[in-house]
Structure 1
Amino acid sequence: MTDQNRSRRLTTASGKPYVENENSKSVGARGPLLLEDFILHEKLAHFNRERIPERVVHAKGTGAFGTFTVTHDITRYTKAKLFSEIGKQTKLFLRFSTVGGEKGSADTERDPRGFAIKFYTEDGNWDLVGNNTPVFFIKDPKKFPDFIHTQKRDPRTNCKSATMMWDFWSLNPESLHQVMILMSDRGTPYSYRHLDGFGSHTFSLINANNERVWVKFHFKTLQGIKNFTAEEAVEMKGKDPDFAQRDLVEAIDKKDFPKWAMKIQVMTDEEAQAFPWNPFDLTKVWPHGDFPLHDVGILELNQVPRNYFAEVEQSAFAPAHVIDGISYSPDKMLQGRILSYTDAQRYRLGGNYEQIPVNRCPFMVANHQRDGLMAVNGNGEDTPNYFPNSFDDIYVDESYTEPAVELDSAVAGWFDRNGANDNDHYSQPAALYNKVMNDYERHNLVANIVDAMSGISGEKKDIIINRQLCHWFRVDMSLGMAIAKGFGIDINAVMQHAPKQQAELV
């Protein structure tokens, strides 16, 4: 293939050239996404169908049933029935997972950990689908398939590629915050019991007066944070690649039930409007000093599934599944996941995946959906399959109407996800490095980064390494110097790839 043949215009699968491959079409720079952006839908829908039958991401995991018990009153914020009174218990199912590996990969791989909860409430199932980190690598869903491709296997070698990973990260500084967490010891948790969980996205809570606030959900492990070092993780990978799975099952069997404290951060709409950056940006956190954690309740896991395939492998989660009193936000990644997760589950398990026992709402379900593969709930029997009709008693309960959301713009277009006030990718990683990590954690972070980046190879190796080094220098001068020293790199060579002001700083 000649160089001329390598140069090809970007098109859709049907051959239509298009321009916006990174920014989704939205109502204003911070508004919700538009259904008409079919490029977003095409990318996500095709991405969901790239693997069968295992999950495209989060393929390796484990799960358990448990309960959530309310300990503090938050009814001033939400009318959701599971929070209606102190002491109220709700059954749940929680699935942990690694993100990038296949179903047979090791539990101790350096990777984020999925933290997905299905609450079985009387107003339907609420799926809170997050990770063990409060942030993520990207802030626009159109970039998700590209990002995950870099975490999978090289098309030519069929091996994991450090070059692909760091090439993408170095070209997307918005990923820096999450990359720092991943490269710390929190990237190799000791077990699923010893990590925190996060809803990660911004959601909204609606109270009985139809007043809305923005919210972030946190789950603090009561077992304490415990991590493997890089060396310990590699050693356990050889000893027992299913260590986290075994650890969870054995703990519950011994009645050493794992527990997490649910807490929330709350932000009013007025505070969101005045916030110095986009509060719906998934690559950033809300400072706890400004938005403190409020206690809500205790989550406990106390029942191992009787059959792994039936209840863990077939469990299906989707951020689209919210309940009365809990709703969405303009978080662009959340908006994309509302579409893609339900699409992925229909592809993986079929259009009737919510009839599978682990996914089925244990309370009333009434609609006019019929037929399709594996319709196992009686398929509506002889009742009508259309609405409205004169024969059944299914009605619309107007009391569940959500209040309207006031948008900040009437202009629809493709807005730069890193536009004004949204392009600071370094302040929060700097705070993580200088204010949260101790000397031991900083030492391990540098060692893990040097080890991970040492896998970069090929003719673009020096360019990718130097480009990423410039990001580390922007986070903190001592961090950049320590990583460069680990590589034995000439700082003058690095500065050739840095903006002028950064070169002068060094």
Structure 2
Amino acid sequence: MAKDNQKKPANQPHQQNAKSKQLDQYRKDHKNSTLTTNQGMPVSNTADSLKAGERGPTLMEDFHFREKMMHFDNERIPERVVHARGFGVHGYFQVYEPQTELTSAKFLQDPSVKTPVFTRFSTVVGQKGSDDTVRDVRGFATKFYTEDGNYDLVSNNMPVFFFHDAMKFPDFVHSIKPEPHNEMPQATAAHDTLWDFVVSNPESAHMMMWLMSDRAIPRSFRMMEGFGVNTFRFVNAEGKGRFVKFHWKPLLGAHSLVWDESEKLRGADPDFLRRDLWDAINNGDYPEFELGVQILEEEDEFAFDFDILDPTKLWPEEQVPVKKIGKMTLNQNQDNFFAETEQVAFHPGHVVPGIDFSNDPMLQGRLFSYLDTQLLRLGGPNFAEIPINRPIVPVKNNQREGFHRMSIDKGAVSYSANSMRGNSPEPDPENGFKHHAEKVEGRKTRKRSDSFNDHYSQATLFWNSMSFPEQQHIIKAFHFEVGKVKDKTIRQRVVDMFNNVDGQLASQIAMGIGVNPPENPGGSGETTSSPALSQENTIKSATTRKVAILIENGFDLKDVDQVTTELGSAGLQYDIISKHQGMITSADGKQIEANKSYAISNSVMYDAIYIPGGKQSTDQLMSHNDAKTFVNDAFVHAKTIGAANSAVDLLMISEIKQITLADKNTPNTVATDMGIVSIRDSRDLSAFSHEFITNIAQHRHWARENKDGKMSG
């Protein structure tokens, strides 16, 4: 068996466009082998400061020391107020067919054009140094470098938001951030101020259902949906406008961690999601997302029992189908985290002709807030000149000054209109951006339309749409998050509030947090469901999943070779794990390398476990507490476990007796029960491998959840 068990990267598609060449040149420019100062002067020594004698004081004339230290002292920039912890990757987007009828946006017309993109995934609440797997909303922001300028699609992995109007954004963020008197807790909603905000703002009920669901702890950025949240407009060349909501649909499906996994990962690998994305791209497993749109004709604006401009509401896909119009492929990791991921500036107001805004009240506020934030964070108005933010098309305007100006514009004219340059640059009435000609009238008022006042029906729709395991996870999330609230009055108000969503849900929440169940179980009266909201109905695929293979000396080499060959052919990754890293000897004297040990790996880092045969190896595994804990955690987390030949004995010592395992009296027969796949006395593991991979594709085997798989010994 080859020692290198990682899939080799496929050839990356060539992006023959200006942005790609610009980025390539940028990288080449920063590969000079000679160290210089910021002024380009070659440096002879960067380890010792200039001193008066070998043990004397440092001299003020040491300009290299002063420049190096000055830069170091000023390297930190203000972190984002929200979405501070992020990770970015490059890729490209291609439309499937011309969308001329819907929009005049040029990047949505030619299927042969690969539009460069940069996508940043993020958590919302935590600081830059917080953990990847916390319960939180995830950001999913994409910058398209189009021939009409940059377009930013700023999305989240949940389709709704906490409130209607951006006026509440500062209050909400203040409530969910660490409490100001003690700066605790970090990166979590499990505290008093957040839940006080929730019960005081019932419009947040729907979003809180999403936040308590498995969607808040994604298995991977690669397995996470994205939603534009706000309502935008498509406008075609004839000026006809339509309302649109944007969706990203991962080709690997939408999958999540379980809560115990996410908590253990925070200790085992706080960078789990970003590492997963980095490794996948390096392995050639390029994440792919289809861009979908929900389209509403303007004449149907009031055809629903909810307001389509309400950001706390979604458009059910069964009523407004998602049309998939193109695909994004993420195929290149960043070269420098700060220069790219940290300095990238997204803004929902960065649109191109053919895409316009609606009167969504939260969107209107975001158009101000994002720009205002970049001015402080990136040091002034010229942040668009930073390479990662720079468009691929020429920028021509009359802006000349400000902090960190990089362009050098020639000539005396910096105003419009002018005659000295023939009024150049001048507007393009034909091809320039035109706002949709929407008729607007009304009195000035600080009021909200009554059509926004139903706060609970869609929260109930979400609850009705969940599978039984998903509902149980929501209840447990409430127990943890609200159980952390110290003020018992707030806990009681949470129960009373969610009684408006579903009476049984409210009663089960109350049972776990020490307050009274509702006297009169209620609900919103909503009886329908939306299958599209449940992750049980997502794409199921084993591709790119990661398998832990547990072995010790004396393992059966054929058991390893056959299964790993099948795993590789099916596009899965795997690690060989043993008590110690290094070479492990098989029963027939051959060696392979264990690239991980139990000290640096953990069951929560993998999607499945495989244990090959070999009596000596099995006996050692049965005596290792680390190995038994590894298997036990995978069992409790409802993951697929496979065992071949003598390795079935390891599973036999489990205290779970309901699982049907391969029997010695039926050799060469694959047994499968609740995601446990086993076979005995077989030299041909083809059928076993196929069944094992099929079970991995299911993601989890929920019938096994909450069972105690503790092993004896």
Superposition TM-score, scaled by structure 1 size: 0.84
Task: Provide the residue aligned with 2:162 in structure 1.
Answer: 137
**2:428 pairs with 368, 380, 397, which one?**
397
Q: Is the 8 A contact 2:120 2:141 kept in 1?
A: yes
Task: Please give the secondary structure, in 1, of the residue aligned with 2:505.
Answer: helix
Aligned to 2:89: 64
Q: For 2:481, what is the secondary structure of its paired residue? A: helix
Larger radius of gyration: 2
CA distance 1:401–1:125, change in 2 (3 Å): closer
CA distance in 1, matches of 2:284, 2:412: 46
The one-letter code matched in structure 2 to 1:398 is P
Alignment deviations for residues 68-113 of structure 1 (CA, whole Å, 9 cap, x no partner): 0111332101010001123332001000000000000000011100
The equivalences for 1:199-238 within 5 A come to 199-238=228-267
Aligned partner of 1:432 among 440, 458, 462: 462
Q: What are the residue-to-residue correspondences of 1:90-101 with 2, within 5 Å? A: 90-101=115-126
Q: Distance in 1 between matches of 2:77 and 2:210?
A: 30
1:30-78 deviations in Å (ceiling 9; x for gaps)? xxxxxxxxxxxxxxxxxxxxx9611111000101010001113321010
Question: For residues 315-334 of structure 1, what are the structure 2 equivalents within 5 Å?
Answer: 315-334=344-363
Contact 2:502/2:522 (<8 A) preserved: no
1:198 counterpart = 2:227: yes
Contact 1:210 1:403 in 2 (8 A): no
Match in the other structure for 2:569: none
Deviation of 1:241 after TM superposition, in Å, equals 0.7
* Ranges in structure 2 where 5+ consecutive residues have no aligned partner: 1-75, 524-713
The alpha carbon displacement at 1:501 in A equals 8.4
What residue in structure 2 maps to residue 462 of structure 1? 488
Could you say what secondary structure the match of 1:219 adopts? Answer: strand
Partner of residue 281 from structure 1, selected from 306, 310, 333: 310
Cα deviation, 1:447-496, whole Å, max 9, x if unaligned, reads 01111101111xxx2221111111211111111111112234333xx55x
Q: Which has the higher contact order (CA 8 A, sep 6+)?
A: 1
Deviations, residues 211-247 of structure 1 (Å, cap 9, x unaligned): 0001000001112212111110000000111111111
Query: CA shift at 1:408, angstroms?
Result: 5.2
Deviation of 1:264 after TM superposition, in Å, equals 0.3
Structure 1 residues 445 and 401: alpha-carbon distance in aligned structure 2, compared to 1, 3 A threshold: closer
Greater CA drift, 102-111 or 64-73: 64-73
Deviations 1:341-384 (A, max 9, x none): 01100111021000000001111211111111100122x23252
Instruction: Give the match's secondary structure for 2:144.
Output: strand
| Residue of structure 1 in register with 2:105 after alignment | 80
How far did 1:274 drift? 3.4
Mapped contact 1:265–1:294 kept (Cα < 8 A)? yes
Residue 478 (1) aligns with residue 504 (2)? yes
**C-alpha distance 152-501 of structure 1, shift in aligned 2 (>3 A):** closer
Q: Secondary structure at the match of 1:218?
A: strand
Are residues 1:267 and 2:296 paired? Answer: yes
Name the counterpart of 2:383.
Answer: 353
Matched, 1:305 2:300: no
412, 415, 423: which one pairs with 2:444?
412
**Matched-pair contact (CA < 8 Å) for 2:98–2:108:** yes
- Residue 452 of structure 2: aligned partner: 422
Q: CA contact under 8 A between 1:132 and 1:196: conserved in structure 2? A: yes
**What is the rounded CA distance, in whole Å, between the counterparts of 1:315 and 1:401 in structure 2?**
24
Question: Which amino acid in the other structure matches residue 475 of structure 1?
Answer: V
Paired AA for residue 467 in structure 1: R
Q: Does the CA contact (< 8 Å) of 2:149 and 2:352 recur in 1?
A: yes
Partner amino acid, structure 2, of 1:173: P
- 2: CA distance between counterparts of 1:401 and 1:127? 15
- CA shift at 1:401, angstroms? 4.9
**Structure-2 separation of matches of 1:85 and 1:360:** 23
The structure 1 residue matched to 2:472, chosen from 420, 424, 443, is 443
Which piece of structure 1 moves more, 404-413 or 138-147?
Answer: 404-413
* Shift, 1:404, TM fit: 4.4
Is the 1:162–1:455 Cα contact (8 Å) retained in structure 2? yes
Alpha-carbon separation, structure 2, partners of 1:254 and 1:401: 41
Shift of the 129–289 alpha-carbon distance from structure 1 to 2, 3 Å rule, reads: same
Question: What is the alpha-carbon distance in structure 2 between the residues aligned to residue 104 and residue 304 of structure 1?
Answer: 20
Aligned to 1:121: 146
Q: Which is worse superposed, 211-220 or 160-169?
A: 160-169
| SS of structure 2 residue aligned to 1:285 | coil
Residues 383, 262 of structure 1: alpha-carbon distance in 2 compared, 3 angstrom cutoff: farther
Question: Partner residue of 2:276?
Answer: 247
CA 1:429 to 1:501, structure 2 compared with 1: closer, same or farther past 3 Å?
A: closer
Q: Distance between the aligned counterparts of 1:82 and 1:351, measured in 2?
A: 27
How far the C-alpha of 1:403 sits from its partner, in A, is 5.1
Aligned-residue RMSD, C-alpha: 1.7
2:211 pairs with 1:182: yes
After TM superposition, give the deviation of residue 168 of structure 1 in Å: 0.4
Give yes or no for the alignment of 1:370 onto 2:370: no
**Whole-Å separation in 1 of the counterparts to 2:193 and 2:410:** 52
Task: Name the stretch that deviates more: 381-390 or 445-454.
Answer: 381-390
SS at 1:412 equivalent = coil
CA contact (8 A) 2:124 2:139 kept: yes
State how far apart, in whole Å, the 2-side matches of 1:445 and 1:401 are.
45
Q: Are 1:64 and 1:95, in contact at CA under 8 Å, matched by a contact in 2?
A: yes
Contact 2:339 2:388 in 1 (8 A): yes
Q: Specify whether residues 221 and 479 from structure 1 end up closer, same or farther in structure 2 by C-alpha distance, changes over 3 A only.
A: same
Q: Aligned residue pairs: how many?
A: 440
Please give the alpha-carbon distance, in whole angstroms, between the structure 2 residues aligned to 1:501 and 1:181: 20
Partner Cα distance (1:66, 1:223) in 2:
17
CA gap 1:275/1:69 in 2 versus in 1, 3 angstroms: same
CA distance in 2, matches of 1:385, 1:408: 35
**Amino acid across the alignment from 2:137:** P
Whole-Å separation in 2 of the counterparts to 1:310 and 1:251: 22
CA apart distance, 1:410? 2.1
Mapped to 1, the partners of 2:357 and 2:258 lie a distance apart of: 37
Post-superposition CA distance 1:268-320 (Å, at most 9, x none): 11101333332111100112222111110001101111111001100000001
Unaligned runs of 5+ in 1: 1-50
Moved more, 96-105 or 81-90: 81-90
Which amino acid letter does the alignment assign opposite residue 454 of structure 1?
G
| Structure-1 separation of matches of 2:420 and 2:251 | 52
Aligned counterparts of 2:457 and 2:440: Cα–Cα separation in 1: 26
Matches of 1:372 and 1:449, distance apart in 2: 49
Partner of 1:103: 128
Q: TM-score, normalised by structure 2?
A: 0.60
Aligned pair 1:256/2:285, yes or no?
A: yes
Give SS of 2:153's match: strand
Q: In the alignment, does 2:85 pair up with 1:54?
A: no
